[in-house]
Structure 1
Amino acid sequence: MTARNLQVAVKRLPHAEGLALPAYATPDSAGLDLQAAISEPVTLQPGERRLVPTGLAIAVPPGFEAQIRPRSGLALKHGVTVLNAPGTVDADYRGEVGVVLINHGDKPFTIHRGERIAQMIVAAYARVAWNEMAELPQTQRGAGGFGSTGSHALPDAAATPLKTAQGE
């Protein structure tokens, strides 16, 4: 199975001149790397958040969204992540794509021009039409949530036969 190609219009804003367009780091990467389009280094103090410009405006096709997600290396090594992850760029938005970064680390973190600060995934979505009902269909889980399925892996369904109502 292969990923399908989707054409997305992009406009490079003046403060992004000289920076590469978002790109996949490897052939099987899901996310396109976004760069900081800043003129001077920006330092995020521990606990500080800031909107970092990318210098790009995009036209996501109808039926799709662009999701802005953290880069795992920044999160693990420095505690820097996307605050509203995943952020959504809607198909009708035409302004600059910005990344809300926060420093959850214990040391200041400096962002430099062209540094890869987040990744973007373009994905299809479904629009919902509500079907209001007095009762919802029943499931095995029911209303259980917030840890109701436990904290350890469930037994392998293929290795553990389910018991029927007759106890078979």
Structure 2
Amino acid sequence: MKLSILSLFCIIMIAQWSHAQQRSIIDSKNTEQEIISLSKKKWSWMADKNVDSLNALFDEKSVFVHMGGSWGKDPEINTIKTGGIWYKKADIHSVSVNIIGNTAILLNNITLLAVVGGNEVTNPFIATEVYIKENDKWKLGSLSFTRLLTPNNTPH
């Protein structure tokens, strides 16, 4: 009798653990898709110069790293608003997301068409986006552009 109860208990525990693992995998995939969708919206908002949506997305302490320098949220919003950089179109070739606790790190392999200082330029980049989840809301903490020497290199 004791052996049967112990066996039943073990089977229940294994089933619950397996279900929790499957739920964790599904939650992780859902979170990855949520981050990918948010990143795509961000590129659209940047192209449309939608600074209100970007202002809500960018964390107050966010940082932006470009080929010509780095700065915080307010200068980035102002750069977009005034057209100092117009992110006209980001062609996304590949994307990967890694979730670490409440942090999501997204790597986009993109070809970016932008207007910088009145000149239209196209560059291949790996864009690294770091999102932090606080109070059930994702905020962008960092956006860094790493120019590639050859286009279409895929992030790992």
More strand by share: 2
More helix by share: 2
| Structure of higher RCO (CA pairs closer than 8 Å, 6+ residues apart) | 1
Normalised TM-score (structure 2): 0.26
